[in-house]
Structure 1
Amino acid sequence: MTSQEVRTQFLNFFKEKNHTIVPSAPMVMRDDPTLMFTNAGMNQFKEFFLGNSVPKSKRVTDTQKCLRVSGKHNDLEEVGKDTYHHTMFEMLGNWSFGDYFKKEAIQWAWELLTEVYKIDKDILYVSVFEGSDDDKLEMDQEAYDLWKAIVPEDRIIMGNKKDNFWEMGDQGPCGPCSEIHVDLRSKEEKAKVPGASLVNQDDPLVVEIWNLVFIQYNRKANGSLEDLPEKHIDTGMGFERLCMALQGVKSNYDTDVFTPLIREVETITGKKYGKNEETDIAIRVVADHIRAVSFAIADGQLPSNTGAGYVIRRILRRAIRYGFTFLDTKQPFIYRLVKVLSESMGKAFPELPKNHQLIENVIKEEENSFLSTLEQGLVLLDSVIASSKSKTIAGEKAFELYDTFGFPIDLTSLILEEKGYQLDVEGFEKALKAQKDRSRAASEVSKDDWTVLQQDSEQEFVGYDTLEAKVKLVKYRKVTSKKEGDQYQLVFNLTPFYAEGGGQVGDKGYLEAPNGDVVYIVDTKKENNEIVHFAEELPKDVSETFKAVVDKEERFYTACNHTATHLLHQALREILGTHVEQKGSSVHAKHLRFDFSHFSKMTSEELSAVENFVNARIEGQLPFEEHRNIPINQAMEQGAMALFGEKYGDTVRTVRFGQSIELCGGTHVKNTADIWHFKIVSEGAVAAGIRRIEAITSEAAKEFFFKNNQMLFEIKGLLNTSQDPVKAVASLQEENNALKKQVEQLLKDKAKGLKNDLIAELEEINGIRFLAKKVDLDAGGIKDLAFEMGGQVTNLFLLLAAENEGKAVLSCYISKELASNKGLNAGNIVRELGKHIQGGGGGQPFFATAGGKNPDGIPAALANAKEIVLATT
């Protein structure tokens, strides 16, 4: 049975049980501040479990793309080392929102596994929650009795809280669960050790394939549990593990989910899978990680240095370094796997073939960049080794390479071992832990339970039509973080405040009590389908009716930029071509940012054309047209463009300005004339095939032109001309270039004369021609002088110092024969001498430089240099 057939049979089975098949949510979370990535199948249904929304169908089924590489669920370092952990994986699931419960979930799971998939009943084990003294919960007798009617009791295993009690997080819906495990060992292995003893013991062939979660409690902030008003079913089956069981293999990587990728790695690298453990681990890492990175890019998350982008970059770099170290790949190759992945999984996930070229380009660029980093790291590591007075390299030095330059610690350790050195692992771990502790402390957030004032109050957003409304507080809670301090999260029965989403920033404003007291709203976000308002204090009387007022000016300028973003999107598709697709946006009151697919730098003519296109529509005074709650199919038939990364329901809102029509939940101006003017301030690359435009409108554009005009007057004043300032500057540049050439020639003549004087001053010490002297040259002139002297004088040891702009420079030249025969190393020497000038530096054994902030230390450095030569035998 192919993996495609496995997936299809699962979905069809539950479709026949009256479940609605829903598409996988994006792997990258967009509007959930609690998660970076979808790490479980239930993530997209959180609002239903929390009771914040009513599902259209009480029974659904899907296959969900998941990623577990950060936070509580972090399998990254296990991936590749074993055969059943993954970064990106598929989770097959069926869900009940207040409909069926344990009986149906258990019976249908057993039916699917044993009757549809035909898995031998004798190789399956099930687990049941044994209870917990901590939570004063008894054993899940109901689940036990249901299983006992299906399987022998010796195949029912009692599980502890860690294995058999599932929780969404520190707070929120939770409940006991039953896991189904499969024993794939041979008959001989089973005869030696019973399978029951290996359940949840990390045996690669006795693995969990399905978890049936019975959500019936709510975990409060104080740790206590309360019953939920409705009971839910949340199941998750590991697709890759299921394929392993059904295809009769001993590893997830031997299934057709991975074998096409592994064969391609073998073809590219010439390495064979199954011959060597180190090679096998590397191939598994590459085959796994290409999936995670490709799906992330397809879902809109590019590698970067922060947040979710950093996680994706880290995954890709792990794959690159395993290829570099164990597969001998010194050129980019991982991007070549995208075609194979797209062909094997594109039918189930069409976003892969759709974004195939983009994914390839981004990965290739990242590979080139990191391979260059590895080369640089190797040079830096050689420098660390050369300067070490011990065979143990300090952990702090290794951490600096890791933290500052991105050089992998396992590669550092491997290289040190090959060179006869060892790493101070404890020192590295200490430095790493200190960094993590700082990061954790900075981002730590604690949340109280919600204080609920009104039950079953469905929130309404009225902010499209008004910026003021009378509101009642439905619930609130206190949130404490080191970054923001104490804040309060407030939820109202209705609100005019727009919550951050679709690239647009959340509204700010204030609440006014009947007595005139004011509480300021500093941000607005959406969490689990609720609009949450952030305030620095709590209203004195939470039972009052408040006047909620949005900051009118901020909203207007934000709306100007959002409407301009739509017009910009239209302009780019018109001028560059319909290949342009939005890949992200950020809309604030003062500026806008728009990321889009395009494979070359925009010319000045293209940028002018885009500006003119947008401004023509502003001057055209196009009216705002919207349609709310229309069927999504109808909107698409009308030509509406779906914005990238957004989650749409069955009904949507369309926004039109002339020929620009998009699905959008954001706020806009009533007429394009309100924008006044559109000005692009920058255009550049974000990643391979992704460009970014930053632009301004309205008051920000007025300020931009005013400042530029002011600068023009100032420039004219400095040039002392009433003529064309461009011609005046060009003339000044010509004159400056001529003068620079004269100065360069004078410096060369000066250095030439100085060279002869310095050669005459050379002193012979132990067969070394030595000179340490302060000169009046810049760093470039000193280098030229040193190499000229080195070309004329053998066995030369030269230290030249200079003071430039209050800083000290030391340059050390050592003839190559001295570096070789006497063991002298300019890099090590200048690093030591740099201490006198309160600086540091380095370089090659025959030439190196150091800079420092203490010119007064130059005489001591010169004297120290002579001591080094005198000590040389």
Structure 2
Amino acid sequence: MTSQDVRKQFLDFFASNGHLIVPSAPIVLKDDPTLMFNNSGMAQFKEYFLGNGTPKSNRIADTQKCLRVSGKHNDLEDVGFDTYHHTMFEMLGNWSFGDYFKKEAISWAWQLLTEVYKIPKENLYVSVFEGNPAENVPFDQEAWDIWKELINEDRIILGNKKDNFWEMGDQGPCGPCSEIHVDLRTADEKALVSGKSLVNNDHPQVVEIWNNVFMEFNRKADGSLEKLPAKHVDTGMGFERLCMALQGKTSNYDTDVFTPLIEKLEQITGFKYTSNDVILNDSEESKEQNKTNIAIRVVVDHVRAVAFAIADGQLPSNTGAGYVIRRILRRAIRYGFTFLNTKEPFVNQLVAVLANQMGEFFPEIKAQQQLVTNVIREEEASFLRTLDQGLQLLDKVIEDEKGKIVAGTKAFELYDTFGFPIDLTALILREKGLELDEVGFTVAMQEQKNRSRAASEVSTEDWSVLIPGNVETFVGYDQIENEVKITRIRKVDSKKDGVLYQIVLDNTPFYPEGGGQVGDKGNLISANETIEIIDTKKENNLILHFAKKLPENVNASFVAKVNSDLRSLSSRNHSATHLMHQALRSILGTHVEQKGSLVNPNYLRFDFSHFAKLTETELQQVEDFVNARIQEQLPLIERRDIPFAQAVEEGAMALFGEKYGDHVRAIKFGNSMELCGGIHVKNTAEIWHFKIISEGAVAAGIRRIEAITSDAVKAHFASYETTLNEVKTALKNPQDILKAVHSMQEDNAKLSKQIEALVKDKVKNLKASLIAEIQEINGVQFLAKQVDLNPEGAKDLAYELGNLGNNLFLVLATVNLDASGEKPMLTCYVSKELVAEKNLNAGQVVRELGKYIQGGGGGQPFFATAGGKHVAGIQQALAKAIDFVK
């Protein structure tokens, strides 16, 4: 049975039992501030479990792309070393929202596994929650009774809170669960050791494949439990592990989920993977093969996580979710570099295989294939350069160490500052007969984690519900103020922001941050007081209004009033992004797609897919296009609550990585039509004018434009006018400013030529005098001297002297004057013959001598320079130069 068959049979089975089949949500979460990534099948349904929304159906089934690499659920360091953990995996799930409960969930799970998939019953074990008297949660007698009707009691295991009580987080819905485990060992192995004793003991062939969670409690902030108003079912089955069981394998990596990627990687690297059926022993050959196997598993796992994250809109970066993706990719590159001898980009070559393999069910990976390939290739090239730089820095660390142990703090600096992997550091040190101070490294790492944890600590109290059962409504498309009541409040205390209060209203005109647009600010006004709202966000389908204090009377009636000035500026920038998107697709081509945006009152930022830097002409065309639409005074045509399929059929742009409902809102200005939930102007004339401020690269194939509109454009032009007037004054108010500037440039060019000629004469004169000062030391012609030249003159002089023979070692010092003061520079020339014969390297020389002038530099082995800031150190640097030839 192929993996495609496995997935299809699961969904068909639950569809036949009254479940609505829904697509996977994006792997990158954009509307849940508590999670970076979708880390479980239930993440996209949290609002239904919390009672903050109504599902399309009370019965749903799907397969969800999940990513577990950070926070509570962190499998990253296990990946590759075992055969059943992954970063990205598929979670097959069926859900009941207040509909069926334990009997149906358990019966269907057993029926699917044993009758549809035909897994032998004697290979299965199940677990039931044993209870927890401390929390007043009893043994799950109901689940036990249901299971014993289906399976022998000796195959039912009692599980503790750790294994059989599932929680969404420190707070929120939770409940006992019943897991199903499969024993994939041979008959002989089963005869020796009972599978029951291996359940939940990390045995690679006795693994959990399905977890049925029975949501019936809510975990409060103080740790206590309360009953939920309705009972829910939340199940998750590991797709990759299920494929392993159904395809008769003992490793996920031996299934057709991974074998196409492995075969391609073998082709690229020349290294062969051995399946889990091949027994490796303690021989050196087997140990090396095991390293190869681990590296290959790391790469083929990680490319899936990175590729799908990029396809869903998350580019690698240095912060947040982007940093996690970069870290996963770099782990793959590093394993390839160390164990598969990959010194050039290679991971990107696997994307085509992945797209071909999974594109039918997950069309986003096929549609974004070229972009994903380009981004990964560029990231690989960049990190390989970092590795090369790190190797040089590590050589310097080794050179500076006097003993056999390299300080852990030095290794941590390489890791933290330059991204150089610690295991690669340890490997290289071992090869050179040195040891790593692992304790010192661990201490430095822990100190950093503690600082990071302390900075991000958040304490969240339970909701205090003032009006039960209220369903909040958003009225901000039509109003900027409205009469409201507070329905719930809670206190949040964080190291970053201090104490804040989150307020939920029965209705609100405040737009919550989303779609790139920042949340509204404003006030809650009662008869007796005004409460400032400093931000608005959305979490689990609740609109949260952030305030630094609560009203004295939270039960009073209020007027919620949005800051109309800020709202207006944001709306102008948001509408301008739509017009710019249209302009880019019209001018550059329909391959352009939005890849991210930021819209606030001050400016707009727009990321988009494109393969080259925009020319000045193209940028001007984009500006002209948008400003033409502004001049046309196009009215906003807004269509709310139209079917998604209809909107797309009518030409609305839908963005990859966004989660759309069955019904959507479409925004249209002329021929620009996009699906969007943001705030927009009523007419493009309100934008006033559009001006691009900058354009540049974000990643391979991704460009970024920053632009301004409205009041910001007026301020921009006013600033330019001020600058122009200052230039006029500096030029003594000429009639024609441009002519005056050109004249000054011509004068400067003439003077530069005169200076260049004078420097050349000076070099010739100096050459003659310096020849007499050259000393011979150990067969090397040596000179270290401070000269009164600019850097270009020092370079010319070095080459002039170098042409006189083939054994010159020369260090020249110069002092240059710039706006910040005197700047020392060292210039080193080494005859190429000495580079080979005496192992002299100009780059190493200037790095060492540069310390005395508080600077550094580099270059080629025969010529290098170093700049600094400590002029007084020149003489000491020149005095030390002789040590290289003594």
Shorter-chain TM-score range: over 0.9
Is contact 2:806–2:832 with CA below 8 Å preserved after alignment? no
Once the 2 structures are TM-superposed, how far is the Cα of residue 823 of structure 1 from its aligned partner?
7.5
Q: Which moved more, 1:613-622 or 1:454-463?
A: 613-622
Aligned-pair CA distance for 1:832: 5.7
3-state SS of paired residue (1:244): helix
Give the AA of the match of 1:442. A
In structure 2, what residue type is equivalent to 1:305? N
Moved more, 533-542 or 55-64: 533-542
Q: Contact 2:411 / 2:422 at 8 angstroms: preserved in 1? A: yes
- Name the CA shift for 1:577/1:836 in 2 (closer, same or farther; >3 Å): closer
SS at match of 1:278: helix
Residue 394 of structure 2 aligns to which amino acid in structure 1?
L
Deviation at 1:282?
1.5
Q: Is the 8 A contact 1:584 1:645 kept in 2?
A: no
Distance 1:69 1:60 in 2: 27
Aligned pairs for 1:337-416 (under 5 A) are 337-416=350-429
Query: 1:716 aligned to 2:728?
Result: yes
Deviation (angstroms), 1:201: 1.3
Aligned residues: CA RMSD: 2.4
Specify the alignment match of 2:602 in structure 1. 590
On the 8 A contact 2:734/2:740 being kept in 1, the answer is: no
SS at match of 2:546: strand
Secondary structure at 2:237 match in 1: strand
Do the aligned partners of 1:386 and 1:828 also contact (CA within 8 Å) in 2? no
CA separation in 1, counterparts of 2:621 and 2:134?
Answer: 67
Tell me the residue number matched to 1:455. 468
Q: Which one of the candidate residues 483, 496, 511 is aligned to 2:524? A: 511
The structure-2 alpha-carbon separation of the partners of 1:785 and 1:372, relative to structure 1 and needing over 3 Å to count, comes to same
- Give 5+ residue unaligned stretches, structure 1: none
Task: Note the 1:23-422 alignment, pairs <5 A.
Answer: 23-274=23-274, 276-422=289-435
Where in structure 2 are the equivalents of 1:711-750 lying within 5 Å? Answer: 711-720=723-732, 722=734, 724-750=736-762
Q: Residue 334 of structure 2: SS of its match in structure 1?
A: helix
Residues 610-759 of structure 1: pairs in structure 2 closer than 5 A: 610-720=622-732, 722=734, 724-759=736-771
Partner SS, residue 90 of structure 2: strand
Q: Residue 822 of structure 1: CA displacement?
A: 7.3
User: What is the aligned residue count?
Assistant: 869
Residues 785 and 482 of structure 1: CA distance in aligned 2, closer, same or farther (over 3 Å):
farther
> How far apart are residue 586 of structure 1 and its match?
1.3
Distance 1:266 1:674, change over 3 A: same
2:211 maps to a residue whose letter is N
Compute the displacement of 1:762 (Å). Answer: 4.0
Task: Give the equivalent residue in structure 2 for 1:564.
Answer: 576
8 Å CA contact retained: 1:596, 1:690: yes
Compared CA separation, residues 453 and 94, structure 1 to 2 (3 A): same
Go from structure 1 to structure 2 and tell me whether the alpha carbon gap of 1:662 and 1:824 turns closer, same or farther (over 3 Å shift).
closer
Shift of 1:234: 0.5
Residue pair 1:510, 1:549 contacting (<8 A) in 2 also: yes
Quick one: structure 1 residues 267 and 818, their matched pair in 2 at CA, closer, same or farther if it must change by over 3 Å?
Answer: closer
1:806 corresponds in structure 2 to 822
Deviation at 1:425, TM superposition (A): 2.2
Q: Is the 8 A contact 2:482 2:560 kept in 1?
A: yes
The letter for the 2-side match of 1:177 is C
Distance 2:844 2:582 in 1: 59
1:519–1:537 Cα contact (<8 Å) kept: yes
TM-score normalised by the chain length of structure 2 = 0.93
Residues 441 and 202 of structure 1, relative CA distance in 2, 3 Å threshold? same
Of 621-630 and 835-844, more deviation after overlay is shown by 835-844
Larger mean Cα displacement after TM superposition, 284-293 or 842-851 = 842-851
Cα distance change on mapping 1:436 and 1:832 into 2, 3 Å: same
CA–CA distance in 1 between the matches of 2:53 and 2:759?
77
CA contact 2:26–2:658 (8 Å) conserved in 1 = no
The structural deviation recorded for 1:764 is: 5.5
Task: Tell me, in whole angstroms, the C-alpha distance in 1 between the residues paired with 2:448 and 2:87.
Answer: 24
Bigger mean CA offset, 51-60 vs 609-618: 609-618
SS at match of 2:486: strand
Please give the TM-score of this superposition, normalised by the length of structure 1: 0.95
Distance 1:787 1:401 in 2: 36
Matched residue SS, 2:641: strand
Shift of 1:254: 0.7
Q: Where does residue 539 of structure 1 map in the other structure?
A: 551
Deviates more, 1:78-87 or 1:58-67: 78-87
Q: Is the 8 A contact 1:171 1:219 kept in 2?
A: yes
Deviates more, 1:326-335 or 1:386-395: 386-395
Residue in structure 1 matched with residue 872 of structure 2 by the alignment: 856
Shift of 1:335: 1.5
Q: Structure 1 residues 655-664 or 784-793, which shifts more?
A: 784-793
Matched-pair contact (CA < 8 Å) for 1:387–1:828: no
Q: Counterpart amino acid of 1:544? A: A
What letter corresponds to residue 150 of structure 2 in structure 1? I
Equivalent residue number for residue 282 of structure 2 = none
C-alpha separation in 2, matches of 1:705 and 1:3: 60
Q: Deviations over 1:508-547 (max 9, x none)?
A: 01112211x2221111000001100111111122111112
Q: 1:256 to 1:765 in 2, by over 3 A?
A: closer
Find the counterpart in structure 1 of residue 504 from structure 2.
491
Matches of residues 757-836 of structure 1 in structure 2 within 5 Å?
A: 757-763=769-775, 770-786=782-798, 788-792=800-804, 798-804=810-816, 805-811=821-827, 834=850, 836=852
Write out per-residue CA displacement over residues 461-494 of structure 1, whole angstroms, 9 at most, x where no aligned residue.
1111111112111111111111111111111111
User: How far does the alpha carbon of each residue in 1:730-774 deviate from its partner, in whole angstroms, 9 at most, with x for none?
Assistant: 443343233223323322332332233333234566666555443
Cα gap change, 1:373 to 1:629, in 2 (>3 Å): same
**CA-CA distance at 1:621 after TM superposition:** 1.4
Which digits, 9 at most, give the CA deviation of each residue in 1:51-104, with x for residues without a partner?
111212111000000011111111112111111111110000000111111111
Higher mean C-alpha deviation, range 133-142 or range 68-77: 133-142
Deviates more, 1:410-419 or 1:19-28: 410-419
- In structure 2, the CA distance between the partners of 1:822 and 1:320, relative to structure 1 (3 Å rule), is closer
Q: 1:444 aligns with which of 457, 473, 477?
A: 457
